[in-house]
């Protein structure tokens, strides 16, 4: 096994992962409540970019809180899925399988 080649490949893969993380800041995930009264946009890195709340939800604090919890959780789930899929693809692209290293890039 060529150790220097492996180290170079690892460094290259780490750079690709960092580049992918930066790109994921520009990938937007839109989610909304089933009735469209609450809309949320996140990046694929799970940073909230915008929240739009219909005025009718402002009359009932508990209802608004419920809407936020449900819709945010759905948006975070989608963003996490995109994030993990993209980063896994980069990490596995050129790396040989080394026992115990499969969780290195998470």
Q: What is the pLDDT of residues 47-72, one digit of tens each?
A: 999 999 999 999 999 999 999 999 99
- Beta carbons of 80 and 46 less than 8 angstroms apart: yes
Rounded to whole angstroms, how far apart are CA atoms 21 and 87?
8
CATH of the domain at 80: 3.30.1310.10
Structural tokens at position 17: 């992962």
Instruction: Say if residue 4's pLDDT is above 70.
Output: yes
Structural tokens at position 74: 């759905």
Instruction: Quote the number of domains for the chain.
Output: 1
Within-domain flag for 42: yes
- Could you tell me the residue range of the domain that residue 61 belongs to? 21-94
Q: What digits encode the pLDDT tens for the residues 76-89?
A: 999 999 999 998 88
CA distances from residue 63 to 35, 37, 56, 57 in whole angstroms, order as listed: 13, 11, 10, 7
């Amino acid at each position: 096994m060529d150790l220097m080649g492996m180290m170079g490949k690892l460094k290259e893969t780490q750079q690709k992962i960092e580049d992918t993380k930066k790109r994921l800041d520009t990938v937007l995930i839109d989610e909304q409540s089933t009735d469209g009264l609450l809309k949320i946009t996140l990046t694929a890195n799970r940073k909230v970019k915008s929240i739009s709340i219909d005025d009718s939800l402002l009359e009932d604090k508990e209802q608004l809180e419920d809407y936020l919890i449900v819709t945010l959780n759905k948006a975070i789930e989608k963003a996490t899925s995109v994030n993990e899929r993209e980063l896994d693809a980069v990490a596995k692209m050129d790396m040989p399988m080394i026992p115990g290293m499969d969780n290195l890039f998470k």
